[in-house]
């Protein structure tokens, strides 16, 4: 019986308990009590169950919000770090333009302490206020928010004369459908603009320069040139770009010349000198060339720039001046100055190499009568024709010079011995006595020659000239159209 009683009690207890969804055990009143109370208790249990479930959902939502908040804070910290190291200037203003917040890069304009609280409009250069207004109007009315870039000129606190050239982007920060703040992203492009400006100036200078210019890369390949390059060399840009400057080589400079050039360029960064190059048509011409290397900020070679002038005209002018200084203006023959140089060279060569020569002194016969009777103009024409006759009578290696008036001198290298001297002297006289036809005038003249052989008749220029002159006067006194060789006694 005792065991049975315990079983009944456990059964009754089991019927009076209720396990809630939250895991709580609820003991119900005795079944003998009023049934209405039982119903209320069951409703209470159900409400409690709903509260517990809602609380669990709130706990779960709270965890999600906490995770989102932590993620947002981490993102904000990361964004702050990025903004703090960004080279771009970030500025937050209110809708009126008052600056509320910046990043450290704003120091390009002014210190953060100085700029915060000012209006961003105050930092715009007057020349770009209209551009600034257009930017504000456009971005506020741009429904798609394309974040267009606008170029602006900004003032700087430390240098009123030195402006900052920037590109700016603006986008409104909206809260609850309305614009709360404005975020400005400003990028400094001053150096880029200056480089573009310098490039334009350089390009303009190159295009207008009368000097030829070419640019090569570090490998020596031509990557740029100017119109004067094409005009001087005869090569077009299409024929030149991508090639090496060696297409201009004349072959007159050897390998050591170019090695010395590049050594100088490597040591000092530039080289300048005279060089002979070749045009497209094969003409070789002198250049005054300067080569300069360009470096980047790390000191690495970027390119080589060559600037050259065509010295052809200058060379011709110098040659013309040298010719005038050393030649007779009437006949074009060497003058007294050049004769002296040639005679000294012949003497030096004769002493060094035992290479002998003969000096022939010539004075025209009857020229004074022609000059007096027909005038100086006819006389000048006679002298010019005499010069051509002498040039045809001797070799190219021989030197014919006009001393002045109707006196001429010929240096004949390798001519020695009386027999040989007599032969050339007779030939000259035979050519000189031939009648000339000048402006309808028949003119006959002749020549008296005095000959002196080196070193037989003189070991220096003065002695040779003096002895040849004496021999010439002997021929003159003998009636003209004759030649005399300096006698051993006369020397």
The per-residue DSSP string of 216-231 comes to E-TT--EEEE-HHHHH
Q: Across residues 20-48, what is the average pLDDT?
A: 62
- Spell out the residues 6+ positions from residue 17 whose beta carbon is closer than 8 angstroms to its own: 25, 26, 27, 28
* C-beta atoms surrounding 19 within 10 Å: 10
Structure tokens, 105: 């890069």
With pLDDT > 70 as the criterion, what percentage of the chain qualifies? Answer: 81
What span, in angstroms and rounded, lies between the C-alpha atoms of 214 and 231?
A: 13
User: Would the pLDDT of 329 be above 70?
Assistant: yes
What span, in angstroms and rounded, lies between the C-alpha atoms of 63 and 60?
A: 5
Stated as kind and residue range, the H or E segment containing 187 is strand 178-188
Q: Across residues 285-296, what is the average pLDDT?
A: 89
What span, in angstroms and rounded, lies between the C-alpha atoms of 261 and 256?
A: 8
Q: Which residue has the tokens 């100017």?
A: 226
Burial readout 273-284 (b: 16 or more C-beta within 10 A, e: otherwise): eebebbbeeeee
Asked if 389 and 402 count as a contact pair (C-beta separation under 8 A), the reply is no
- Among 57-66, 368-377, 416-425, where is mean pLDDT lowest? 57-66
DSSP 128: G
Q: Across residues 442-471, what is the average pLDDT?
A: 94
User: What is the signed CA dihedral for 296, 301, 302, 307, rounded to 10 degrees?
Assistant: 110
What is the distance in angstroms between the CA of the first residue and the CA of the last residue of the chain? 184
Q: Which residue has the tokens 């079944």?
A: 31
Residues 187-231: tens digit of each pLDDT: 888 877 766 665 665 666 666 778 888 889 888 899 888 888 999
Q: Which one is catalytic: 310, 328, 398, 406?
A: 406
Structure tokens, 327: 């030649």
Asked if 400 and 394 count as a contact pair (C-beta separation under 8 A), the reply is yes
The question of whether 254 is a catalytic residue gets the answer no
pLDDT at residue 1 in the model: 44
Residues 169-190: tens digit of each pLDDT: 887 877 777 788 888 888 888 8
User: Would the pLDDT of 5 be above 50?
Assistant: no
Per-residue pLDDT band for 382 (boundaries 50, 70, 90) equals very high
pLDDT at residue 6 in the model: 45
User: What pairing do the DSSP bridges indicate for beta strands 25-27 and 89-94?
Assistant: unpaired
With pLDDT > 90 as the criterion, what percentage of the chain qualifies? Answer: 45
What span, in angstroms and rounded, lies between the C-alpha atoms of 45 and 18?
A: 8
- Spell out the residues 6+ positions from residue 192 whose beta carbon is closer than 8 angstroms to its own: none
* C-beta atoms surrounding 259 within 10 Å: 10
The DSSP result for 285-298, as a single string, is EEEEEEEEEEE-TT
Q: Is the dihedral of CA 72, 78, 81, 87 positive or negative?
A: negative
DSSP three-state, residue 244: coil
pTM: 0.50
What span, in angstroms and rounded, lies between the C-alpha atoms of 158 and 252?
A: 58
| Vertex 465 angle, CA 462 and 467, to 5° | 105
């Amino acid at each position: 019986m005792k065991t049975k009683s315990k079983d009944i009690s456990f059964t009754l207890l089991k019927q009076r308990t209720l396990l809630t969804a939250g895991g709580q055990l609820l003991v119900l009143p005795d079944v003998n009590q009023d049934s209405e109370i039982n119903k209320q208790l069951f409703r209470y249990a159900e409400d409690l169950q709903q509260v517990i479930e809602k609380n669990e959902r709130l706990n779960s939502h709270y965890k999600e919000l906490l995770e989102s908040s932590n993620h947002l804070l981490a993102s904000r910290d990361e964004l702050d770090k990025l903004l703090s190291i960004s080279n771009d200037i970030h500025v937050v203003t209110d809708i009126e333009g008052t600056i509320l917040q910046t990043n450290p890069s704003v120091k390009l304009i002014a210190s953060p302490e100085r700029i915060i609280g000012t209006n961003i409009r105050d930092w715009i250069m007057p020349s770009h206020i209209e551009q600034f207004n257009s930017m504000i109007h456009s971005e506020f009315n741009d429904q798609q928010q394309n974040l267009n870039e606008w170029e602006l000129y900004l003032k700087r606190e430390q240098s009123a004369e030195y402006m900052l050239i920037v590109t700016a982007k603006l986008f409104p920060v909206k809260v609850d459908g309305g614009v709360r703040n404005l975020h400005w992203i400003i990028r400094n492009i001053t150096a880029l603009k200056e480089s573009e400006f310098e490039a334009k100036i350089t390009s303009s200078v190159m295009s207008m320069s009368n000097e030829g210019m070419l640019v090569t890369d570090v490998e020596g390949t031509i990557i740029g040139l100017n119109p004067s390059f094409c005009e001087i060399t005869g090569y077009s840009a299409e024929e030149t770009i991508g090639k090496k400057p060696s297409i201009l080589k004349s072959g007159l400079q050897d390998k050591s010349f170019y090695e010395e050039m590049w050594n100088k360029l490597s040591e000092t960064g530039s080289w300048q000198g005279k060089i002979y190059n070749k045009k497209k048509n094969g003409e070789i011409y002198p250049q005054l060339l300067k080569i300069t290397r360009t470096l980047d900020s790390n000191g690495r070679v970027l390119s080589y720039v060559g600037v050259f002038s065509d010295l052809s005209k200058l060379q011709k002018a110098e040659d013309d001046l040298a010719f005038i200084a050393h030649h007779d203006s009437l006949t074009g023959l060497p003058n007294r100055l050049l004769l002296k140089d040639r005679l000294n060279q012949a003497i030096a060569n004769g002493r060094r190499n035992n290479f002998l020569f003969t000096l022939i002194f010539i004075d025209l016969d009857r020229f004074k009568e022609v000059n007096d009777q027909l005038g100086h103009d006819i006389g000048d024409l006679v002298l010019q024709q005499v010069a051509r006759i002498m040039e045809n009578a001797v070799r190219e290696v021989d030197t014919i010079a006009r001393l002045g008036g109707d006196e001429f001198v010929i240096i004949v290298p390798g001519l020695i011995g009386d027999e040989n001297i007599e032969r050339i002297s007779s030939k000259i006289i035979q050519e000189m006595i031939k009648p000339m036809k000048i402006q309808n005038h028949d003119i006959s003249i002749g020549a008296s020659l005095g000959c002196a052989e080196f070193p037989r008749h003189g070991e220096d220029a003065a002695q040779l000239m003096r002895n040849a002159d004496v021999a010439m006067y002997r021929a003159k006194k003998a009636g003209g159209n004759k030649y005399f060789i300096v006698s051993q006694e006369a020397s």
